[in-house]
Amino acid sequence: MNETVSLNLETIPEKLAWLEERYWRFGQDDVLSGYLEDLFEVDDDGRMTSSPRCDPLTGETSGLMLLGGSGDGKTALLNRTLRANPVLTEFTKNQPGNTLFITVPPEATIKKLAEIILGKTGYEKVDPRMRAADAWEISRHRFGLVGIKTVVIDECHHILRSGTGRDVPAAIQSLKHIMQCESGVALVIAGVPTLRDAIMSEPSGETYRRFTECYLPKIPLGSNSARLFGVNFTRSAEKVGVKVDVDDAFVERILFAEHGRVGRSVKLGKEILRNAVIRKRVALELEHAEHIFRKGKGDIGVTPFHPTSWGTVKRELEAIGWGQ
């Protein structure tokens, strides 16, 4: 964030645009990077390369499963981590990178996903009558042809939904086959926690054991990540010209209100700042934050933004079981 602090923001739209695209760092990236590195070979300096680790006895690579609730920040974290990674480069039709990023649309079947991969890797001859298994075989072959070494599948739980016309066992197999293909591809999948349950439904557990699980960490009050969240919030407020009184404990209240869930806490923090900018307020006030938090929540009684001392509000809310 330091590099942008020197730019002066004048108009309201300028400030809002700046705020919206700000990525707040507080250590989650390092957690994910740590897991990601384990999927790859290292160079002589011990740094990760773009070559997936492959078990020489079986010829298989392995996978990583990023799990978290909806809105927790999985997609933002994945995008950020991949962009910041020095060896993984995104593959697009116009750019020969080594990493393919796919977002599964809500209704996609396993065949549809294979077709999306074929399209993204420049295979134009998709025959609609093609069987899912064949589409997948060609997809895996394409990885080798175009130099894709890592496949990232976001919203992966969508292909594992059961229902008519859906084949969950085949979907699980397709994921396993990605890690068994001859060109050696590392697989990263992200989704809500039911993704893990769906993969575990395979009786043999063969696919599940090939994945390491990484849960999106929360931001506990008093932790270093909470401190860094505070730094991001305060710097952003400064940048858009809104004063924050430390004694009001805005940061603690936001994290408490959203139970430390990253995406939601960032969103609420930004919403509070956005509102102050739009209304040209010089300083943040608890009453306004409370109003924003209440929106869409109905009558929820006392909120963490109740305008009395934070210690008192916290005790009161804990007594009614807010933190659980």
Ligand X SMILES: Nc1ncnc2c1ncn2[C@@H]1O[C@H](COP(=O)(O)OP(=O)(O)O)[C@@H](O)[C@H]1O
Name the residues that contact ligand X, by CB under 6 A: 23-24, 68, 70-76, 262-263, 266-267
Closest distance to ligand X from the beta carbon of 212 (Å): 18
Closest distance to ligand X from the beta carbon of 262 (Å): 5
Q: Which is nearer to ligand X, 78 or 100 (CB)?
A: 78
Residue with tokens 């890797």: 121
Q: Which of 125, 24, 306, 157 is nearest to 322 (CA)?
A: 306
Q: Phi first, then psi: give them for residue 32, nearest 5 degrees.
A: -65, -45
Q: Which is nearer to ligand X, 118 or 240 (CB)?
A: 240
Q: Which is nearer to ligand X, 100 or 262 (CB)?
A: 262
Q: Which is nearer to ligand X, 225 or 303 (CB)?
A: 225
Residue 73, class by beta-carbon neighbours within 10 Å (0-12 exposed, 13-18 middle, 19+ buried)?
A: buried
Which parts of this chain interact with Mg ion (CB under 5 A)? 75
Q: Which is nearer to Mg ion, 67 or 257 (CB)?
A: 67
Closest distance to Mg ion from the beta carbon of 106 (Å): 11
Distance of alpha carbon 26 from its chain centroid, rounded?
14
Give SS3 for 94: coil
24 binds, among ligand X, Mg ion, none (CB under 5 to 8 A by kind): ligand X
Closest distance to ligand X from the beta carbon of 315 (Å): 29
CB 135 within 8 A of CB 126: yes
Rounded-to-integer distance, Cα 205 and Cα 213, Å? 14
Rounded to 10 degrees, the C-alpha dihedral 139/145/150/152 comes to -30
263 binds, among ligand X, Mg ion, none (CB under 5 to 8 A by kind): ligand X
Closest distance to ligand X from the beta carbon of 64 (Å): 15
Residue of minimal Cβ distance to Mg ion: 75
Q: Which is nearer to ligand X, 75 or 223 (CB)?
A: 75
Distance of alpha carbon 306 from its chain centroid, rounded?
31
Closest distance to ligand X from the beta carbon of 191 (Å): 9
23 binds, among Mg ion, ligand X, none (CB under 5 to 8 A by kind): ligand X
Rounded-to-integer distance, Cα 182 and Cα 184, Å? 6
